[in-house]
Amino acid sequence: MNHLIKKFKERQAVIGIVGLGYVGLPLMLRFQKVGFKVLGIDIDRAKVDRLNAGESYIAHIPAAEIGAARQNGFEATSDFSRAAEADALIICVPTPLNKNREPDLSYVTGTVDALAPHLRPDQVLSLESTTYPGTTEEELLPRIEATGRKVGHDFFLVYSPEREDPGSKHFNPRNIPKVIGGHTQSCLKVGVALYQGAIEQLVPVSSTRTAEMTKLLENIFRSVNIALVNELKILCLRMGMDIHEVIRAAATKPFGFMPFYPGPGLGGHCIPIDPFYLTSKAREYDISTRFIELAGEINTAMPYFVIQRVMEALNDHGKALKGAKVLLLGAAYKKNVDDDRESPSYKLMELLAQKGAEISYNDPHIPVLRRGRKYDFGLTSTQLTEASLAQADCILIATDHDAYDPAFILQHAQLIVDTRNIIPVSPVSVGKLYKA
């Protein structure tokens, strides 16, 4: 243990990042920048080839940073046997839900099974993927000990949840505090040594279960509060008030209030998924997490509310949704990124298509809609011009990218349904702008 800790402190350790996506790639860059040799492992051969060519496949990560990492020794591979070269293995793979909205740990367990034959003494394995309390002990520990390793003695196991905020200009792996839980105290010491050379603030906790629950609490907190403002948005519209004006006014209170903002539904790799990891686990303890599930129901229903607003807006203009040309602005789940995981835009497109609308979309960050587990629209981004705005019967704003010029959209669109409050209410907008 002391030898391994010494290697981390002296930056002589090799860091293995398993899963080179929105979490793993920034983490790789951070470890590399502070002087560690980093080995990236990913099953996607296309990603591996692009990284080794000095290219980036994530919009907010410049290719120049990948190129610099390559020049300083970073290498990507699909060969899991090379895990033996690493002193630390950090797992950053997806943890989605299955079709029944139950946790799907196949990416995590499959990754550990692929690594297991190549594990050696004096390594640390850290899981960063979001999951339910108990996963590290119940799923990872038995797989590692089956290889003959003694966790806490000749092998070390920690859980340290990712807190990545894609596209953020203020937060990155360096300055986001890092929660760490170890299976044993020895594991925790090694885990702290692993991360403290790259992360400014570490938050050690008593166990892997506590660290797992911490991540879920963070995202459940957001899910519940977003559900609250989504519900109030519907009420405020019915009562003739602007929920965004209400939130702005409430946010002037210097204590006891934190602003959350409504939208067309939840998106991304965390908020729509993570709460269900806890509700599923809670059933094993005969606990019904009613508050969490209610928030999920409200947020899941928001795309249906948005489509109802589109129908009302078209009806006011003497048109039916069936056969209407609807141009949706934004396929990403949040502004200024190319991340479309769990984006509510896809559900909006599905509902529009089911009701017979002729749909198109524009997103400056997503030129082609990727085929996913649930959706395959086969669409490419429509250029946003005076003509494309004017020809659409309705513009549906689903993502508030900075690239969108509210004045330009308002000037040329016939009808706008705005779910992100980017078009200001004005005399010019009367009759053509609908908030949703």
Instruction: Let me know how many helices (H) and strands (E) the chain has, helices first.
Output: 15, 13
For 91, phi then psi, to 5°, come to -95, 120
Report whether 106 contacts 178 (CB < 8 A).
no
Count of other CB atoms within 10 angstroms of residue 284: 9
N-term to C-term CA, the chain: 56
Q: Is 157 helix (H, G, I), strand (E, B) or coil?
A: strand
Q: What is the longest distance spanned by two Cα atoms in the chain? A: 75
Q: Cα–Cα distances in Å, from 206 out to 76, 156, 192, 429?
A: 34, 15, 13, 55
d(CA 35, CA 197): 9
Tell me how crowded residue 179 is: count the other CB atoms within 10 A of its CB.
20
Distance CA 74, CA 12 (A): 14
What is the amino acid identity at position 309? Answer: R
Q: What are phi and psi of 198, to 5 degrees?
A: -120, -25
b/e map 15-31, b = 16+ CB within 10 Å: bbbbbbbbbbbbbbbbb
Q: How far apart are CA 392 and CA 328, in angstroms?
A: 10
Integer CA distances (angstroms), 331 to 92, 208, 313, 360, 370, in order:
24, 36, 21, 11, 10
- Residues tagged active-site: 270
Angle (nearest 5°) at CA 161 between 158 and 164: 145
